[in-house]
């Protein structure tokens, strides 16, 4: 199962990717997300850790400055994202240049396996809200 | 060497991909391109052939309705795209959904190897013109 | 959910891919599989259909001679693969050259969504058996 | 232009990837390569730098523990890899599980653009030699 959300951001791809690529800084979605870095790794170091809104423990598993892709894993979540409901959660954020007007498509995909409990559905609305905030931050 | 061009098309991804996926029909770029199907294969059959503007002999090498990617090869070209100038030319057209407003990003990438002759540069302008026409065809 | 299985086949990649790329011919796994082509499309035409062992109705959704990847979908299955148990089943077969000795790695991945019924688990054993037969067919 | 080389390594993918993923440690190819870490970044930090055999200045541009892919760029080289001969050099090392016997395929691809000078050809032999040494290190 998974989500697929995407928005056009009105800024060149290098500026947008520059904001997205730091795993420890989600200030581009500050209205939706409190991002607390944890551990010794920097935000561009594979294995870096953060806690989102006090409940989701996430690890950076992939970062590619050439393809402009970030991949992360939720290790522990609560409520709808708890291990009873969701497993092997992986998220991916990707930035694609739009050459016609030098803007950027940002694509956020997530996938997970439902567990034996009731199936939780981290909804598109959550990702769309964060992407909309990213969009506004470049207006 | 290669080109990368992309535009936003104001239509849902399935409609846009539906127009792009037929290797034998480039009516979406009719102002720029005359596309002549040749051979016995259909436009969705791997190995299908076409001649573009009477000079480029192209073969369909990949088509994926799930990923929405078409890949093709130029076998023989003339002038700037002749074998003396360009080798191993591969083009890829990809359609990506933009969920915020149910439109579509179309990305056209090409790559080739220069030959021993003077290096030809099939320009971004050519691809951008075809993509702009695709865009207008959905207005 | 999904399976990942891979084997080394003792033949050059072009020969192995040549056997795999025809969606209507699974004679390389004849001990395990009866493959019945249906519909008007050829085995290299996107949208081609086949019935496996009388029970799985499958459609070719992607074929790429350059990347050497085939992708297909199960539309209707029975028993453990029925719609009550499994949804959005997609399989992918890929051939990768092993340059050290001019042989080939074949990778078969599958993914699906469990439905509300008891979760079926099309097992690794099934795919490994077919890949082993492919392997023997090139010995 | 580019190279494609691959070998089977007789060890599970996690052990092999564990050896490959540290950009600052090429001890698995010590007979061929002297790898000198430079700069403040760690070997798993995107942007990490190293000098190979005193002549190639390389930067880590991508690392993915899930897909098991490392991507790097040569910034400055000498002789056949100098800017006069080669541009936009990118290398990629990938580890793929072979499930039939729990071993690993390692694939090393490189690509670059020839410059205006005589075209240099960093040969397959170089990469094959390093991969063979990796292979022996797990025997």
Which helix or strand (DSSP H or E) is residue A133 part of? helix A124-137
pTM value is: 0.91
- Nearest by CB to C66, from B21, B62, B66: name it: B62
When pLDDT is averaged across residues C102-131 and rounded to a whole number, the result is 80
pLDDT in the model for residue B89: 87
User: Which is nearest to C91 in space by CA: C69, C68, C65?
Assistant: C69
Would the pLDDT of A78 be above 80?
no
Contacts of D114 in chain B (CB under 8 A): 114
* Residues on B contacting D at a C-beta cutoff of 8 Å: 1, 113-114
Do the bridges between strand B2-9 and strand B35-38 make them parallel or antiparallel, or are there none, so unpaired?
unpaired
CB contact under 8 A, C128 and D99: yes
- Show Cβ contacts of residue A10 under 8 Å, excluding neighbours closer than 6 positions: A103, A135, A138, A139
Q: What is the ipTM of this complex?
A: 0.89
Residues contacting D58, CB < 8 A, separation 6+:
D49, D50, D51, D52, D72, D73, D74, D75, D91
User: Which of the residues C3, C4, C5, C6 would you substitute to probe the D interface, choosing the one with the greatest number of D C-beta atoms within 10 Å?
Assistant: C6
Residue D28 burial (CB < 10 Å; 0-12/13-18/19+)? buried
Chain A residue whose CA is closest to C2: A113
- DSSP β-bridge partners for residue A58: A50, A74
Please tell me the distance from the alpha carbon of residue D12 to that of residue D139, in angstroms, as a whole number: 12
- Judged by CB atoms closer than 8 Å, whether chains meet at C63 and B64 is answered as yes
Determine which of B29-43, B84-98, C96-110, D110-124 has the lowest per-residue pLDDT on average: D110-124
Residue D47's SS3 state is coil
The band of C82, judged by pLDDT with boundaries at 50, 70 and 90, is low
Provide the number of CB pairs (under 8 Å) joining chain A to chain C.
3
Taking only the tens place, the pLDDT of each residue in B9-38 is 999 999 999 999 999 999 999 999 999 999
Calpha distance A120→A135 (Å, rounded) = 27
What's the pLDDT tens digit per position in D106-136? 999 998 876 655 444 568 888 999 999 999 9
In this prediction, residues B37-53 reach a mean pLDDT of 97
- Domains in chain B, CATH or no CATH each: 2-137 (3.30.530.20)
What average pLDDT does the structure give for chain C? 89
Contact B108, B5 (CB under 8 A): yes
D37-46, Cβ contacts within 8 angstroms, sequence gap of 24 or more:
D41/A45, D42/A45, D44/A45, D44/A46, D44/A47, D45/A41, D45/A42, D45/A44, D45/A45, D45/A46, D46/A21, D46/A44, D46/A45, D46/A46, D46/A63, D46/A64, D46/A65
**Higher pLDDT among residues D104 and A81, named by residue:** D104
Could you tell me which of B34, B84, B28 has the C-alpha nearest to residue B56? B34
Contacts of B113 in chain D (CB under 8 A): 1
Which of A100, A125, A128 should we substitute to test contact with B (largest number of B Cβ atoms within 10 Å)? A100
Q: What whole-number distance in Å separates Cα of residue B63 and Cα of residue C66?
A: 11
Look at D15 and B123; give whichever has higher pLDDT.
D15
Q: Among residues of chain C, what percentage have pLDDT more than 90? A: 73
Number of CB pairs, chain C paired with chain D, less than 8 A apart: 51
Whether the pLDDT of residue A116 is over 60: the answer is no
pLDDT of residue D119: 44
Q: How remote is the C-alpha of D2 from its chain's centroid?
A: 13
User: Do C62 and B62 make contact, defined as CB atoms within 8 angstroms?
Assistant: yes
What pLDDT score was predicted for residue D94? 98
Secondary structure, 3-state, B43-63: CCECCCEEEECCCEEEEEEEE
Q: Output the pLDDT for position B113.
A: 75
Burial class (CB in 10 A: 0-12, 13-18, 19+), D45: buried
Q: How confident is the model at residue D139 (pLDDT cuts 50, 70, 90)?
A: confident
* D99/C7 Cβ within 8 A: yes
Dihedral angle, C-alpha C7, C9, C15, C21, nearest 10 °: -20
Distance from the Cα of D45 to chain B's closest Cα (Å) equals: 28
Q: Which of A105-119, C40-54, D92-106 has the lowest mean pLDDT?
A: A105-119
- Give CA–CA dist C64/C19, Å, rounded: 14
Q: Cβ–Cβ of D42/A45 closer than 8 Å? A: yes
Average pLDDT, integer, range A118-138: 81
Question: Mean pLDDT over residues A102-117, rounded?
Answer: 84
User: B6–A96: do the CB atoms touch at under 8 Å?
Assistant: yes
Residue C121 clears pLDDT 60, i.e. is over it = no
User: Which has the closest alpha carbon to B3: B95, B104, B130, B96?
Assistant: B130
* Mean pLDDT calculated for residue range C40-47: 98
Q: How far does C14 lie from chain B, in Å, by closest CA? A: 14
């Amino acid at each position: 199962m998974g989500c697929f959300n995407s928005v056009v951001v009105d800024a060149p791809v290098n500026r947008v990717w520059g904001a997205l690529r730091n795993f420890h800084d989600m200030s581009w979605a500050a209205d939706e997300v409190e991002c607390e870095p944890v551990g010794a790794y920097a935000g561009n170091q594979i294995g870096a850790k953060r806690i989102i809104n006090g409940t989701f423990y996430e690890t950076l598993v992939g970062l590619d400055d050439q393809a402009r892709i970030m991949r992360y894993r939720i290790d522990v979540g609560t409520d709808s994202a708890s291990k009873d409901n969701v497993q092997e959660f992986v998220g991916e954020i990707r930035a694609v240049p739009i050459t016609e007007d030098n803007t950027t498509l940002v694509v956020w995909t997530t996938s997970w396996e439902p567990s034996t409990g009731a199936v939780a559905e981290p909804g598109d609305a959550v990702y769309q809200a964060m992407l909309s905030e990213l969009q506004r931050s470049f207006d």
